Structure 1
Amino acid sequence: MSWLLLLIAGILEGAWIYGVQKSAGFTHIYYTLFAIFSMSASLLLFALAIKTIPTAQAYIIWLAIGVCSICIVDHFIFKQILSAQQLVFLCLIIIGVVGLKLSH
């Protein structure tokens, strides 16, 4: 269950970045509230996950999932191009996360 919470927390990292970018300097209240909610939920879920997952390992995974989700948001929503090299290295990050999970 903790791993699922950590996965959702990492995905929420991408959500709050989306909210911050769309808030236009915190001038659009709905995007600002979305960003604050996503950030708070991400941190809460991370805190719950580290009750059973070692903190250092959980933090690395949280960041890795967050980086991947931010790249996905940037690509699909903000139309930023991902090069083949970037895709390869994102896949390596995902492989590293799966490896950490399997070794736990």
Structure 2
Amino acid sequence: MAWTVLVLSGLFEAVWAAALGASDGFRRWRPTVLFVVALVISMGGLAWAMQHLPTGTAYAVWVGIGACLTVVWALVTRQERATLARIGLLVLLVGCVIGLKAVS
């Protein structure tokens, strides 16, 4: 259960990161509200998961999921270019997150 909550919290991390970028410095209210809601859910889930998982592993997995999904979102919305190096590094990051799960 802790891993499920952690993964969902990582998904919400990507949501708040994208919403933060779209908020234009908190000048746009809809992305700002989405940022706050997703941040609270993400942090709450991370805090709960850290009660059941090693802190370093939980944090690294949470950050890895959020970072990967944020980059994927930027690629899908064409805010960033998809390059072979970027894709390779994302694959490596996902492999590291899976590895941390496997050894925990």
TM bracket, shorter-chain basis: over 0.9
Within 5 Å, which residues of 2 pair with 1:36-75?
36-75=36-75
3-state SS of paired residue (1:27): coil
Deviations 1:40-65 (A, max 9, x none): 11100001111111001111111111
Distance in 1 between residues matched to 2:29 and 2:87, nearest whole Å: 34
Unmatched 5+ stretches in structure 1? none
Distance in 2 between residues matched to 1:47 and 1:77, nearest whole Å: 30
Is 1:34 aligned to 2:39, yes or no? no
Distance in 2 between residues matched to 1:96 and 1:23, nearest whole Å: 31
Equivalent residue, structure 1, for 2:11: 11
User: Percent of aligned pairs with the same residue?
Assistant: 26
How big is the alpha-carbon RMSD for the aligned residues of Structure 1 and Structure 2?
1.2
TM-score by length of 1: 0.92
TM-score by length of 2: 0.92
Runs of 4+ deviating beyond 3 Å: none
* Paired residues, number: 104
Deviations 1:47-97 (A, max 9, x none): 111111100111111111111011011111243112111111111111111
